[in-house]
Each structure stands twice: as C-alpha cells, then as structure tokens.
Chains A and B, each alone.
Chain A
Amino acid sequence: MIKVANLKKSFTGQAVLRDISLNVAPGELIVILGESGSGKSVFLQHLIGLLKPDSGSIEIDGVDITTLSERKLLKLRKNIGYLFQEGALYDFMTVYENIAFPLHEHTRLRLKEIKEKVLNILKLVGLEKAGMKFPSELSGGMRKRAALARSVVLDSKILFCDEPTSGLDPKKSKEISDLINDISRRSKCTTVITSHDIYNSFRIADRLVLIDHGQIIARGKPEEIELSSDPKVKEFLI
C-alpha cells in the first residue's frame, strides 16, 4: 500500500508539487498523466526517496520514507523496481550484466541460478539474443525493455515507471505498455507509471490520475476520466 499525503516540493522558489495526496492499493496499476513539466517525474522520484519533499508524507507499507536516512532508503529500494525514462542502463556493462547486477548485489544466488534467471527474463522481454550487447548497440525500444528487465529482476512487489513510452513510435509504445502491464499483472505488483501517452494509459490502467502544474486535477477509472466534464481534463484528452 502506498499512501501519499499533502506532498509539496519547490525548486528555487518555484512550486513543482502542490499538496498532492494519493493512495495506491496493493496490486493496483495507476498511470499518472500530465503534460511535460507538470511534475510527474518529480512526484515519482519522491516515491522512491530520490528527492525529499518540503512537506508531506509518503508511506510505503506503513513506513514513512520521507523520514528515512539514505542508508535505510537504499535497503528499502531493493524491494522497489524503478524504470528510468532513458533506461539509465550502465553503459560499461552488457545487457546481461546490467540485469544480473541487482541479483549479484542483493541476493545470494549462485552464478548458475543468476544465469538462469537472467536468461528467463531476457526471454520474457524479447531480448534473448541481445544479452551480450552493450546498451549503445540497442535501439530505443530494446533499451527500455532491457531496463524494464533490470527493474523487475528482483521480483519486486512495487514498480515505478517514468515515461516508459517516451521517444518510441506507436507500435513500440504499445509493445512496451503491454509488457509492463503483463509483468505487473503476472507478479501482482503495485505499479505507478507516469506518462503522456493517453492511448496506452487508458488501455492498461486500473486508475488514472491527471496532474497539472503540480496538482491533481482528476482521478478515477479510465471510463470515468473519459466522461469528465472538467474543461482542463477535456483539453488534455483531446
């Protein structure tokens, strides 16, 4: 369970998040929609403790992460998968090594078991032939899939994805959205995605949240959002 209450954040006097409150139920898949610069990514970085809020609280399974030290946050993050917008794969490691990295760091699995797990997940994301390639040798879509594989390899029960479809063509966007949806449903993990991809967000989300200028302007099931009469929501959905 994720509970965000009255979250506020400013950078050099400019308010980026203004009093955001949101609850995410276990196993739920939420998509946070908003224009570029609306505060979606900043919000997501708060959820994993990469940024500290000016005020407000973020509870993950009953623990307020805003009060934790960096060392305790590092421990907590082992249980959370985070997909960065550009993938953020280590460019000095192969795809295989990138995916195996969290397993080496946080598990006591043997090399054989790690190999088996990495090969399985490479197959799941459709990169079984790209394991020995470096990130610079991959296309944008392949990089995203490799990064997704790294973020879920520890079987985390929480997954955060920052703009997983940005920079991809419609076909690849649909593929990566379906892949996240599939992995999320299969492992029953609580998933929060930020996006401005309206089509795919409506397809996969249990619930949608619309953010504008750091404030939530609408929330609800896709069909509820679609029927909203709020002019700002209508404008965004056009």
Chain B
Amino acid sequence: MQRIIQFFVSIGNALFFLGNVFFCALKGRIRWGEVLKQIYEQGIQSVIIIAMTSFASGAVLALQGYVMLNRFGAKEYVADLVALSLVRELSPVFSSFIFSGKAGARMAAELGTMNVNDQIVATRALGVDPIEFLVVPRMVACFLVLPGLVVFSDLFGIFGGYIIGVADAGIQSSTYIHQTLRAINYVDFFSGFIKTLFFSVAIGWVCCYQGFHTKGGSLGVGKFTTKAVALSYIVVVISNTVLTKIILAFWG
C-alpha cells in the first residue's frame, strides 16, 4: 500500500516539476545563451550516431523489402516501404531512443552530479532559481534539437535505402527518387514529426527530473542516470503506441 502511495506521490512531484518548467518557459524566463550551449552539446553528441543508425536502418529495410516485394514483381515499391516506414515510425522512435541514451543520459548525469555535490542547492542559496538556470535550457534545447535530428534521420535513412535500392536491387536512380517523393505526403511527415515533439518533451522531462532528484553520491548518479534512460525508453514506447492510434484515427 505504501508503495502505491509513494508511486502516486512521485508522479505528482514529477508533474509539479514539469509544471514549474512550463511556468518558467511561458513567463519567458528562458536563458537563450544556455539554450545555445545545450543545443550544441546535445545535437553534436547525437548527430553522428543517429546518421549511422538511420543509414543502416534504411539500408536493412530496403534489403528486406526487396526480397519480399520482388516475389510479387513490385521491387520499385521498396522506395515507398523505406520512406513511409522511416518517416512515420522508425526515425522518430529510433532517434528518440538514441537521443535518450546519449543526450538524456548526459543531462541526468550532469544534474545528478550537481545535486550530490550541492551545486543545485547552492544555486538556490545564490538567489537563482535552479529550474530556470539548469532545467529550462536543457528542456528547451531538447525540444529544438530532437525534431531536427529526426528530419536528419529521415534523410539519412532514405539515403541508405536509396543506395541499396539502386546498387543492389537494380532500381533506377530516378525511379527510386520519384517513388520516394510520390510516397510521402505531408500527413506522413507530420504524423512522425508531431510524435517527435512529444517525445522531446518527455525525454527532457524524465531525464532532468531524475537528475534533479539524484541522491546517494556517485552510486546514486549511476543509478538515477540508468533509471532516467530506462524510463524515457518506456515513456517513448508507450506514448508512441497511444499517439499512433490517435494520429491514425484523425489522419489515417
């Protein structure tokens, strides 16, 4: 019973934390200099690994898709398969996972270390709101960086599929490009993009909250950082299912 109460208390605390962040951001208390630093750190840290993963995902999708579609004499549709799968589903989810593992873990570990070394409480003692100084810039950067990374991931994934489609499956380059452009419409793009906006807030929230409430010295930093990444994976997976259902119901 006590565990259930504790669970609801921690949910309440986490929502209160998010409310504070939104309150600061909506009041315009955003330190853009800090946001730019975070954009640089979070973006640069994730961009290479996201490019590599997306390229490989697009290539594998094209390889598998070609084997299946070739049986029905429809190998040109590999381009459709790759583009739609990536843009609607795979890029937002995979990129969010990678972002959470790299930038999310970094945020949680940084804030966690600051907390166990009294730097967060020192911020309060210096008369500065730690949510405004430390959390809002990280979450705003998350919100701005992740959608950009997902667009980047879409492009690299499609490029991976294109290389396999043209070089391995023997589809003409112009045909592949034409099929890709024909396959994706704005609904496909925005259904993935809107999910990404949600994921970016969720990852920033979960990782910053865990970091901000880290205790127990260096062991605690490890424990809370791992928890932050695991929780953000779960939040992404569950919210992706719900959002996909909602988007399909409205947009098809």
Contact = CB atoms under 8 A, between A and B. Distances in A.
Interface of A: 48, 50, 70-71, 73-78, 80, 82, 84-86, 88-92, 101-102, 105-106, 150
Contacts of A90: 114, 119, 122
A88 B127 contact: no
B127 A77 contact: yes
B224 to A, nearest CB: 18
B122 A84 contact: yes
A91 B125 contact: no
Nearest to B120: A88
B229 to A, nearest CB: 21
A77 B117 contact: no
B127 A78 contact: yes
Contacts of A50: 121, 124-125
Contact of B117 (A74, A75, A76, A86): A86
Interface string B47-87: 00000000000000000000000000000000000000000
B244 to A, nearest CB: 39
A88 B122 contact: yes
Contact of B127 (A86, A106, A150): A106
Contact of A91 (B117, B127, B129): B117
Contacts of B110: 92
A90 B110 CA distance: 11
Nearest to A79: B127
A70 B20 CA distance: 12
Contact of B121 (A73, A88, A106, A150): A88
A70 B24 CA distance: 14
B125 A48 contact: yes
A46 B14 CA distance: 25
B125 A77 contact: yes
A55 B122 CA distance: 24
Given A86-B117, A88-B117, A105 B122 contact: no
Interface of B: 110, 113-114, 117-119, 121-122, 124-129
Contacts of B122: 82, 84, 88-90
Contacts of A88: 117-119, 121-122, 125
Nearest to B133: A105
A105 B118 contact: no
Contacts of B125: 48, 50, 77, 80, 82, 84, 88
> Which of B110, B113, B114, B127 has most chain A Cβ within 10 Å?
B127
B124 A102 contact: no
Contacts of B113: 91
A172 B122 CA distance: 23
A101 B117 contact: no
A74 B118 contact: no
Q: Which 3 A-B pairs have the closest CB atoms?
A: A88-B122, A88-B118, A78-B127
A74 B127 contact: yes
A75 B129 CA distance: 10
A88 B110 CA distance: 14
B127 A105 contact: yes
A84 B127 contact: no
Contacts of B117: 86, 88, 91
A150 B126 CA distance: 9
Contacts of A89: 119, 122
B128 A74 contact: yes
A80 B127 CA distance: 9
> Which of B119, B124, B126, B128 has most chain A Cβ within 10 Å?
B126
A17 B201 CA distance: 41
B119 A105 contact: no
A175 to B, nearest CB: 22
B118 A84 contact: yes
A191 to B, nearest CB: 15
16 contacts: A50-B121, A50-B125, A73-B124, A75-B127, A82-B122, A84-B121, A85-B118, A88-B117, A88-B119, A88-B121, A90-B114, A91-B113, A91-B117, A92-B110, A101-B126, A105-B126
Contacts of A85: 118
A77 B119 contact: no
B119 A74 contact: no
Contacts of B124: 50, 70, 73-74, 77
A76 B128 CA distance: 11
B121 A86 contact: no
Contacts of B118: 84-86, 88
B193 to A, nearest CB: 32
Given A70-B124, A88-B118, 11 more contacts: A48-B125, A71-B129, A75-B127, A78-B127, A88-B119, A88-B122, A89-B119, A90-B114, A91-B113, A105-B128, A150-B126
